[in-house]
Amino acid sequence: MRSRCHFSDKLDKLNEIKVSFLGKKGELTSILKSMKDVAPEDRPKVGQMVNDARSKIEEHLEEKKKAFEQALREEKMKAETIDVTLPGQRIPEGHRHPNTKTLEEVENIFIGMGYEVVEGPEIERDYYNFEALNIPADHPAKDEQDTFYITQDILLRTQTSSVQVHEMEKGRLPIRMIAPGRVFRSDEVDATHSPTFHQIEGLVVDKNITFSDLKGTLQEFAKRLFGEDTKVKFRPHHFQFTEPSAEMDVTCFKCGGKGCRFCKGEGWVEILGCGMVHPHVLEMSGIDPEEYTGFAFGVGLERIALFKYEIDDMRLLYENDTRFLKQF
Amino acid sequence: MNSSISWTKAYVPDLDCTAQEYMDAMTLSGTKVEGYTELDKNLDKIIVGKINKIEKHPDADKLVICQVQVDEAGTEVQIVTGAANVKEGDKVPVVLDGGHVASSHKDGESENGFKIKKGKLRGVDSFGMMCSIDELGSNTDMYPDAAEDGIYILSDNPEYADAPIGSDAVELLGLHDVVFEYEVTSNRVDCFGQIGIAREVAATFRKDLVLQEVKETGNNEDVNDYVSVEVQAPELCSRYVARVVKNIKLAPSPEWMQRRLASVGIRPINNIVDITNYVMEEYAQPMHAYDLDKLADHKIVVRKAHKDEPFMTLDGQERVLDDTMLVICDGEKPVGVAGIMGGENSKITDDVTTMLFEAATFDGTNIRKSGKKLGMRTDAQAKFEKGLDPNNAIDAMNRACQLIEELGAGEVVGGAVDVYPVKKEPITITYNVEKINALLGTDIDEDTMVAYFEKLDLTVDREKKEVLVPTWRQDLERLADLAEEVARFFGYDNIPMTLPSGSATAGGLSEKMQHENMARDIVEAYGFMEGMTFSFESPKVYDKLLLPADDVLRKSIAIMNPLGEDYSVMRTSAIGGMLISLATNYNRRNQNVRLYELANVYLPKSLPLTELPEEQMQLTLGMYGEGDFFTMKGVVESLMQRMGLKKAAKYDPQAGKSFLHPGRQAKVIYEGCEVAYLGEVHPEVLDNFSIGQKAYIAVVNMKQLSELASFDVKYVGIPKFPAMTRDISLTMKKEVLAGDIEDTIRTKGGKLIESVTLFDIYEGAQLTQGYKSMAYKIVFRAPDRTLKDEEVNKAMDKIIRALEEKEIVLRS
């Protein structure tokens, strides 16, 4: 009996064997059928023997069956082997513009510090772009900005600082906001200039806001955007709508401050202008500078994007060549 | 603005630091140094030598052999030269063997200079080189006494004739100097002068500022006997100071003055011109000199020019003035454009004997505007534009007259004509130590603050807690300005870094921005890449888009002063920009391009603009390559679905867009609002933009989409009862719209309809010409029971009857 099993290697053969022993006409069945010929006193004993044999056979067959099935599956899988180095099937993927990606990073940093993201008009009144920012008519600072005019009074905003004024006029204090958006200046297109670009304005107005808060906030921003090791440096500067005013440099993120071609050997890169909101600016927007103080800053979005992604020509940002866009 | 360390040291004698330390410290205290140049960077082993003997070179006609004495002891070295201008006895700069010069006769200037080694010239040993001024890194503009083309003969200049042999020639020529270049901010007019810079240097390095004493000048005559001044436009000329110098002796100015002017890039001319320039540099107060004998009636009248008044400026250019410009006139005619440039008719020439010196204060804005109109920008103008301190004018004038006397350039006539009707007085500002500290977040004591103020020549009254601000610091007006002064000299670096305390704010993106970001995510999932284009474009784009003459998109806002026609109108749609971007990609052979832009278009409420226009955020999609109209439609459908516009939208083929294919365009109507439109780009438009394959665009009004958006989701139970499905095949005229058929099925089928799906369209041989066949799978289901055949049959009958009324029949 055992030897017959060895010769069978197919499942159906196994089934045949099963039938030949255990089927209606099988050998064990016929033994059971011939029980009547066995002496009554022996019957339990023989019955026991037959049942033992049956379960042994069944067990053995089952074992065999499992082994055969296993072998069969393995054989099948072997035949199904694929070349996993063939390319994957992908649906075409879209990409955010590098400006937008950078902006989202900046937004997330400030949202985490409780800032609201707000917007203002791109076509703006002179008052909001200049006068309310302490740049009165005929002020030389107005000329420096190469403004595009629509009418005498309506212009393309040259700075997102105009949004500061709209926010302050709402009279809801405290203010913690950033205002990203397009700005316009009459600069010819070249590798570092564009007549349309983006800024992100920041404004905080509250009681007891200090210059040290400005420094701390912008250091936090720089570290989160460019890495924990980034150092910041504040240099005095002049803006009409802040006093004291500063420019902030960060350690060059390419060389870490050692000096390289990228930072022209200086180790530092100028990144933004900032300062304490000029008390006259607060006054003009109906905020009492004796009670409230604030700070403001303005960052060039393209400037950061170009640095961050090491893009060497600003024109690439507005050409929309997909070979450029798909890298982000 | 430039300054040289040697000039600054004339006012801050104790200054002692390296160029780099100077640059860093000045930048951190607010006078930003952009860079510096060490004039002796490439100069080494250059001494004063004396040519004792010159012989002909045996083998070269153009070379001579010189024996040059290089020390007082009489040591000689042999130098072969090709220079033709040397003679025995001349003292010349000599670079010795192993020394360095800045440029070479043969190769011009070099970043790292040239090393000079002993060698042979045509077989004769030469142990050094005699130098021209160019080899010393400068030029004859700055050293007018140096030979134009040859060796600098030092002994030709009386001031150098006695220089000891062997002494440092670089020292003698004032080239051990460093020149700094600054970015001076517009509020610091005083820092456009050397004294202003020096005051900042003294405060930064905590050194004493030593200014020269300006002495009383003039003979015992009265200037009023020589000249009269009448200011007819006092609103544009707050002060006019005039003095007279007679018996002028034109000559070169002394070397110290020439060197200082040269160090900041001003070319020495003669004593009178140099004094004028020197004082302008020192005080940031431009001055002008007129030949008094050329002034009719010996009179100065300051008035506005007449309309179209012609005038020749001293550069020989004929200018046409207008009645907003300020002119300086004599008794008859203009002799100068105020603050910008003098006239050809009154300029100082070599035969001048008596001159009038002018130091005036003009209105900065007026000067700026006049200069712009005339297309001129002179050094004087650049200073006047900032708005000068009238109290500075008299100091500058007296300093100039003092220099005239010191240099023996002429005889100064006693007294000054000074027209100064409204004197500018210094202001006082109350300082409050606590408030300054509260603004800065610091804890600086009063003594320290007061010391900073005093270093800046602010007079402090500690009793009253007041500072008196000199009029040259017109940028200081209130406490915040004083706080900046404290911060600058305390050091911005030393102010601590903290985060704002105070009330918490929630922060976050506006709903509009969140919707825009969702739109980005959705279209990016369909493979669209975000592009950006300019907000202004050429009006020619309208023609390229085949817009009819009265199309609303042509009503765009024009820029008064655009950067040329290509950027002259604010766009009313981003399609022009999109098609240009697609064309750029097509031209560069990029395949399967899908772009989107999320940006404002500018829709005027009236033209010309009297109020701000509507800035409408639009999502513009463009693509070519794989996909067709229905790919684009799928994106729009998905966008609407995901933004919660879940009801059926109507796609109306009568979109009326001239730039789209007339048979392949649709506007998308949702609840009666036009949310979007899309279509295949008109073939002629494709040609106009040089796109060589079919392209598709869609424009979504984000504002509209945002308003309709809804993100309320209420769970609907998963169906418990089975559905019943019926397939029908219909034939109809080709023009019949699938949208209408589906509408009919849905309305007639009523609530029981779960879905209607088109699964086959057929046009061809087996149908009558002009007809098509469409097959639909209609799924019916009730939420509360298993449907019976009769119910569904009844609904189907209704549907089919309604379709038949529209000549849409079951296909037999």
3-state helix, strand, coil in chain B (%, to 5): 30, 30, 40
Q: Rounded to an integer, what distance in angstroms lies between the CA atom of residue B326 and that of residue B335?
A: 11
Nearest CB to B563 within list A110, A186, A326: A186
pLDDT given for residue B313 in this prediction? 93
Would you say residue B156 has pLDDT above 50? yes
Q: What residue in A sits closest to B438 (Cα-Cα)?
A: A210
Would you say residue B500 has pLDDT above 60? yes
Q: Rounded to an integer, what distance in angstroms lies between the CA atom of residue B623 and that of residue B694?
A: 9
Q: What letter represents residue B454's amino acid?
A: E
In this structure, chain A runs to a length of: 328
Q: What is the pLDDT of residues B668-681, one digit of tens each?
A: 999 999 999 999 99
CA atoms within 13 A on the CB side of B555: 12
E-strand stretches of chain A: 116-117, 123-125, 154-156, 175-184, 196-206, 232-239, 242-251, 268-277, 293-300
- Cα torsion for B272, B274, B277, B281, to the nearest 10°? -130
With cut-offs at 50, 70 and 90, classify the pLDDT of residue A35.
confident
Would you say residue A7 has pLDDT above 60? no
- Tell me which H or E stretch contains B111: strand B108-115
Q: Could A154 and B612 be called an inter-chain contact, meaning their C-beta atoms sit closer than 8 Å?
A: yes
Which residues of chain B lie closer than 8 angstroms to A107, CB-CB? 509
pLDDT given for residue A144 in this prediction? 67
Q: What is the CATH number of domain A98-325?
A: 3.30.930.10
Q: Rounded to an integer, what distance in angstroms lies between the CA atom of residue A164 and that of residue A239?
A: 14
Nearest to B342 by CA among B307, B291, B398: B291
Q: Could B488 and A236 be called an inter-chain contact, meaning their C-beta atoms sit closer than 8 Å?
A: yes
If one compares B617 and B104, the residue with the highest pLDDT of the two is: B617
Would you say residue B526 has pLDDT above 50? yes
Nearest CB to A325 within list B187, B530, B570: B530
In this structure, chain B runs to a length of: 812
Query: In degrees, to the nearest 5, what angle opens at C-alpha B90 toward C-alphas B87 and B96?
Result: 105
pLDDT given for residue B327 in this prediction? 96
Q: Give the residues across from B229 on adjacent strands.
A: B300
* Prediction pTM value: 0.87
| Residues B198 and B325 sit within 8 Å (Cβ to Cβ) | no
CA distance B281 to chain A (A): 21
Q: Rounded to an integer, what distance in angstroms lies between the CA atom of residue A128 and that of residue B652?
A: 43
Which residues of chain A lie closer than 8 angstroms to B483, CB-CB? 211, 243-244, 276
Q: Give the residues across from A270 on adjacent strands.
A: A249
Which residues of chain B lie closer than 8 angstroms to A215, CB-CB? 492, 495-498
Q: What residue in B sits closest to A220 (Cα-Cα)?
A: B499
Q: What residue in B sits closest to A148 (Cα-Cα)?
A: B561
Compute chain A's Rg from CA coordinates: 41
Q: Could A140 and B364 be called an inter-chain contact, meaning their C-beta atoms sit closer than 8 Å?
A: yes
| Cα separation values, A172 from B174, B175, B644, Å | 62, 61, 32
Most trustworthy range by pLDDT among A55-59, A251-255, B407-411: B407-411
Nearest to B44 by CA among B83, B5, B119, B98: B98
| Cα separation values, B162 from A225, B90, B563, Å | 64, 11, 61
Residue B385 at interface with chain A, using a CB cutoff of 8 Å = yes
Average pLDDT on A187-200 reads 93
The structure tokens listed for B245 are: 């110098």
pLDDT given for residue A301 in this prediction? 96
The structure tokens listed for B664 are: 């392949």
List all residues 6 or more positions away from B355 whose beta carbon is below 8 Å from its beta carbon.
Answer: B244, B245, B248, B272, B289, B290, B291, B292, B348, B410
Average pLDDT on B696-723 reads 93
- Tell me which H or E stretch contains B651: strand B650-652
E-strand stretches of B431-553: 459-461, 466-469, 529-530, 536-537
Q: Rounded to an integer, what distance in angstroms lies between the CA atom of residue B678 and that of residue B640?
A: 14
Nearest to B289 by CA among B225, B342, B231, B338: B342
Q: Which long-range contacts (CB under 8 A, 24 or more apart) does B704-707 make?
A: B704/B673, B704/B674, B704/B675, B705/B515, B705/B519, B705/B619, B705/B639, B705/B640, B705/B643, B705/B645, B705/B675, B705/B676, B706/B511, B706/B512, B706/B515, B706/B643
Question: Three-state SS for B595?
Answer: strand
pLDDT given for residue B443 in this prediction? 96
Nearest to B570 by CA among A303, A318, A98, A124: A124
Would you say residue B235 has pLDDT above 60? yes
Q: What is the pLDDT of residues B197-214, one digit of tens each?
A: 999 999 999 999 999 899
DSSP label at B736? Answer: -
- B569-570 vs B593-603, strand pairing mode: unpaired
CA distance B206 to chain A (A): 18
Query: In degrees, to the nearest 5, what angle opens at C-alpha B801 toward C-alphas B800 and B806?
Result: 95
If one compares B717 and B456, the residue with the highest pLDDT of the two is: B456
Q: Domains of chain B, with CATH numbers?
A: 2-39+178-205 (3.30.56.10), 44-172 (2.40.50.140), 223-419 (3.50.40.10), 427-494 (3.30.56.10), 511-708 (3.30.930.10), 724-810 (3.30.70.380)
CA distance A1 to chain B (A): 55
Q: What is the pLDDT of residues B261-284, one digit of tens each?
A: 999 999 999 999 999 999 999 999
Q: What residue in A sits closest to B476 (Cα-Cα)?
A: A243
Which residues of chain B lie closer than 8 angstroms to A279, CB-CB? 478-480
| Residues B657 and B547 sit within 8 Å (Cβ to Cβ) | no
Q: Could B487 and A211 be called an inter-chain contact, meaning their C-beta atoms sit closer than 8 Å?
A: yes
Region of B457 (left: φ > 0; alpha: ψ -120 to 50; beta: rest) is left
Question: Three-state SS for B172?
Answer: helix
ipTM of the complex as predicted? 0.87
Which residues of chain B lie closer than 8 angstroms to A140, CB-CB? 186, 364-365, 368, 385-387
Average pLDDT on B342-365 reads 93
Question: Three-state SS for B402?
Answer: helix
Alpha helices, H only, B375-478: 379-384, 391-406, 433-440, 446-455
Query: What order of strands is seen across the sheet that includes strand B569-570?
Result: B536-537, B569-570, B557-558
Prior bond of B608 cis (ω within 30°): yes
Q: What letter represents residue A293's amino acid?
A: T
pLDDT given for residue A44 in this prediction? 84
Residue B481 at interface with chain A, using a CB cutoff of 8 Å = yes
Which residues of chain B lie closer than 8 angstroms to A195, CB-CB? 534, 536, 563, 567
Q: What residue in A sits closest to B569 (Cα-Cα)?
A: A150
pLDDT given for residue A9 in this prediction? 61
Q: Could A94 and B526 be called an inter-chain contact, meaning their C-beta atoms sit closer than 8 Å?
A: yes
Nearest CB to B438 within list A96, A107, A210: A210
Q: Which of B485, B492, B617, B689 to mutate to test the interface with A (most CBs of A within 10 A)?
A: B492
pLDDT given for residue A5 in this prediction? 44
Q: Rounded to an integer, what distance in angstroms lies between the CA atom of residue A260 and that of residue A268?
A: 10
CA atoms within 13 A on the CB side of B294: 21
Which residues of chain B lie closer than 8 angstroms to A265, CB-CB? none
Q: Could A206 and B503 be called an inter-chain contact, meaning their C-beta atoms sit closer than 8 Å?
A: yes
Each residue of B31-48: b (16+ CB within 10 Å) or e? Answer: bbbeebeebbebbbbbbb
Q: In the predicted model, what is the mean pLDDT of chain A?
A: 90
Computed from CA positions of residues B140, B141, B143, B145, in that sequence, does the dihedral angle turn out positive or negative? positive
Q: Could B584 and A319 be called an inter-chain contact, meaning their C-beta atoms sit closer than 8 Å?
A: yes
Would you say residue A253 has pLDDT above 90? no
Q: What letter represents residue A255's amino acid?
A: C
Backbone angles phi, psi at B685, to 5 degrees: -65, -40
Tell me the DSSP string of B343-388.
Answer: BGGG---TT---EEEEEEEE-HHHHHHHHHHHT---HHHHHHTT--
| Residues A222 and A229 sit within 8 Å (Cβ to Cβ) | no
Residue B625 at interface with chain A, using a CB cutoff of 8 Å = no
Q: What residue in B sits closest to A197 (Cα-Cα)?
A: B534
The structure tokens listed for B234 are: 């006092």
Compute chain B's Rg from CA coordinates: 42
Cβ pairs A/B, distance under 8 A: 250
Nearest CB to B441 within list A154, A210, A246: A210
Residue B765 at interface with chain A, using a CB cutoff of 8 Å = no
**In which residue ranges of chain A is CATH 3.30.930.10 found?**
98-325
Nearest to B267 by CA among B258, B275, B276: B258
Backbone angles phi, psi at B796, to 5 degrees: -65, -40
Q: Rounded to an integer, what distance in angstroms lies between the CA atom of residue B395 and that of residue B410?
A: 19
Q: Which of B505, B568, B572, B601 to mutate to test the interface with A (most CBs of A within 10 A)?
A: B505
Q: Rounded to an integer, what distance in angstroms lies between the CA atom of residue B252 and that of residue A265?
A: 42
pLDDT given for residue A30 in this prediction? 80
- Minimum mean pLDDT among A103-112, B213-222, B232-241: which range? B213-222
pLDDT given for residue B765 in this prediction? 82
Residue B593 at interface with chain A, using a CB cutoff of 8 Å = yes
Average pLDDT on B692-716 reads 94
Q: Could A92 and B592 be called an inter-chain contact, meaning their C-beta atoms sit closer than 8 Å?
A: yes
Residue with tokens 């670079």: B95
With cut-offs at 50, 70 and 90, classify the pLDDT of residue A2.
very low
Which residues of chain A lie closer than 8 angstroms to B27, CB-CB? 235
| Residues A121 and A159 sit within 8 Å (Cβ to Cβ) | no
Which residues of chain A lie closer than 8 angstroms to B526, CB-CB? 92, 94
| Residues B193 and B264 sit within 8 Å (Cβ to Cβ) | no
Average pLDDT on B471-492 reads 96
CB atoms within 10 A of CB B316: 7
Residue B518 at interface with chain A, using a CB cutoff of 8 Å = no
Q: In the predicted model, what is the mean pLDDT of chain B?
A: 94
Average pLDDT on A206-212 reads 96
